[in-house]
């Protein structure tokens, strides 16, 4: 079965341990597909995702929403050790910017 309007997040990378390419899907982290070419790895992971989706539909299980379709607020909380918080606050003050700006710039590096 071909997935209609497939919007899931796929990645193909080399697996040195397996000596093959591995296809992965972020929304289904327990699934993978090994192949001798990147193209076959992508085709394989898409096929296995399609098969799993069919099973989930038949079993009335909730279907994962594609990451690409989710709405993100741009806000999330991160807990850091107090000394890291202090260090970032000092950097922000010395740079004349908010703590948010410093943390965001470090995440974008």
pLDDT of residue 93: 93
Going from N- to C-terminal start, the domains of the chain cover: 10-68, 72-107
pLDDT tens digits, 63-99: 999 999 999 999 989 999 999 999 999 999 999 999 9
Distance CA 98, CA 1 (A): 51
Please provide the DSSP assignment of 49-106 as one string: HHHHHHHHHHTTPPPPPPGGG----S-------HHHHHHHHHHHHHHTS-HHHHHHHH
pLDDT tens digits, 47-62: 999 999 999 999 999 9
With a threshold of 0.85, does the pTM exceed it? no
Mean pLDDT throughout 6-30?
A: 97
């Amino acid at each position: 079965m071909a997935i209609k309007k497939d919007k899931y997040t796929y990645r193909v990378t080399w697996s040195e341990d397996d000596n093959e390419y591995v296809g992965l899907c972020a929304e289904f982290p327990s699934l993978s597909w090994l192949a001798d070419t990147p193209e076959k790895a992508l085709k394989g992971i898409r096929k296995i995702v399609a098969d799993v989706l069919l099973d989930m539909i038949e079993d009335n299980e909730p279907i994962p929403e594609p990451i690409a379709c989710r709405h993100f607020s741009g806000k999330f909380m991160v807990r850091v050790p107090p000394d890291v918080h202090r260090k970032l606050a000092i950097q922000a003050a010395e740079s004349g910017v908010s703590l948010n700006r410093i943390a965001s710039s470090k995440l974008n590096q």
